[in-house]
């Protein structure tokens, strides 16, 4: 699996020269890694390209050039890169109206633990959510969660052999599923897994 290290990050000056083209490339790439679950939840499956973009953007926008701050950004974001036997995704809960959003987030406590992927006849794999820090409290959940889906070798082998992939969320206040996942997205996600 591709790793991002200090050595393969661009300087602020070098990044400024390619920023527009790189952004265009990353936005096209994200289209094959973005899954809407209903109208209000979106999963963006991360990989080395999306995370490298995130890090370079943080360094550029925040004008970070001190070594310890660069290392902090790497330590913050590189755990979001899948490592060959899992998928990692950013989950966005999106309600444009702030008042409605507050009410909905209060009703969606625990939703991050109810997101699943299923490979053909294998049992669903529920997300392991927010390993970096707690993102909900007794009153509401967060609008952003970080999810990890751990797959067994058998599931990965099934995917490589053409098994269907479905993804959904099953929370008392919100249910949605994509069954099956679009072939372009499935192909993109398959590249995150060993044997790809």
Q: Which of 150, 147, 148, 178 is nearest to 164 (CA)?
A: 178
Rg (alpha carbons) of the chain, rounded to whole number: 18
pLDDT tens series, the chain, 196 aa: 567 888 889 999 999 999 999 999 999 999 999 999 999 999 999 999 999 999 999 999 999 888 899 999 998 889 999 999 999 999 999 999 999 999 999 999 999 999 999 999 899 999 999 876 655 566 788 899 999 999 999 999 999 999 999 999 999 999 999 999 999 999 999 999 987 4
Sign of CA dihedral 71, 192, 47, 166: negative
Which residue's entry shows tokens 């289209």? 31
Residue 35 φ/ψ region, left for φ over 0, alpha for ψ in the -120 to 50 degree band, beta for the rest: beta
């Amino acid at each position: 699996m591709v790793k991002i290290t200090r050595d393969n990050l661009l300087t602020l000056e070098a990044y400024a020269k390619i920023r527009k083209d790189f952004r265009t490339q990353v936005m096209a790439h994200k289209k094959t890694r973005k899954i809407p679950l209903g109208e209000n939840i979106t999963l963006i499956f991360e990989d080395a390209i999306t995370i490298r973009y995130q890090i370079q953007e943080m360094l550029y926008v925040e004008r970070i050039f001190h070594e310890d701050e660069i290392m902090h950004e790497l330590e913050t974001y590189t755990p979001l890169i899948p490592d060959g036997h899992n998928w990692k995704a950013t989950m966005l809960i999106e309600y444009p109206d702030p008042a409605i959003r507050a009410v909905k987030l209060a009703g969606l406590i625990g939703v991050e633990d109810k997101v699943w992927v299923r490979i053909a006849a294998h049992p669903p794999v529920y997300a392991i959510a927010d390993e970096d820090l707690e993102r909900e409290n007794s009153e509401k959940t967060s609008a952003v969660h970080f999810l990890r889906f751990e797959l067994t070798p058998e599931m990965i082998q099934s995917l490589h052999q053409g098994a269907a992939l479905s993804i959904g969320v099953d929370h008392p206040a919100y249910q949605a599923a994509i069954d099956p996942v679009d072939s372009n997205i499935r192909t993109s996600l398959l590249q995150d897994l060993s044997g790809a």
